[in-house]
Amino acid sequence: MIQVCYNNINYRDDDSEANNLTVKYEKEKTMEINLLKEILNHEVDSAATIVTHSNNQPHISNTWNSFITLTEDEKLLIPVGGMNLTEKNLLENDDVLLSISNRVVAGKNFPGTGVVIEGKAYIRTSGNEFDLVKKQFSWIRGALVVEIQSIKQTI
């Protein structure tokens, strides 16, 4: 028995429809990850937006695309200097949204593209993830770790 969730529809089937959806999902996920890599690695830097919320109050922090590392296991690592309210919010609610874009990378129809990432996040102040970010940014007090749940190209 195969179970697949695609476009918020759960499929549970023994036939090839579920297998085809699994292949399609994996292909789209790979395309979105590759687009994210291209945005993050492009020489033209852009701002990235991090949205957290607590008690029905959203909070926005920003960083630079060039500060974000995508790990082999598809986590985002982001240096934390301030982000005090972001940290407080994550202790209460680990849901996070990120908007990451670049005005030069090819989009759907023209130059410029962006993605919205949904994930779960936490801040590390020690350990491997922290050490990896600290090597690049000596000024950090922590590393924001985002476990990606979905990526969607927006433009």
pLDDT tens readout for residues 81-95:
999 999 999 999 999
Same domain for 85 and 136: yes
For residue 87 the two structure tokens come to 């940290």
Same domain for 113 and 58: yes
User: Higher confidence at residue 113 or residue 16?
Assistant: 113
Per-residue pLDDT tens for 1-46?
Answer: 344 444 455 545 555 665 555 555 567 778 899 999 999 999 999 9
Split into its structural domains, the chain has a count of 2
Same domain for 95 and 29: no
Query: Is the pLDDT at 50 greater than 90, yes or no?
Result: yes
Q: In what helix (H) or strand (E) does residue 83 lie, and over which residues does it extend?
A: none
Same domain for 12 and 65: no
User: Higher confidence at residue 126 or residue 25?
Assistant: 126
Query: Is the pLDDT at 117 greater than 50, yes or no?
Result: yes
- Residue 139 is part of which domain span? 44-153
Same domain for 59 and 133: yes
Residues 143 and 129: beta-carbon distance below 8 Å: yes
Instruction: Tell me the backbone φ, ψ of residue 41, rounded to 5 degrees.
Output: -95, 0
Coil, strand or helix: which one is 153?
A: strand
User: Higher confidence at residue 22 or residue 126?
Assistant: 126
Same domain for 35 and 48: no
CATH of the domain at 110: 2.30.110.10
Same domain for 34 and 10: yes
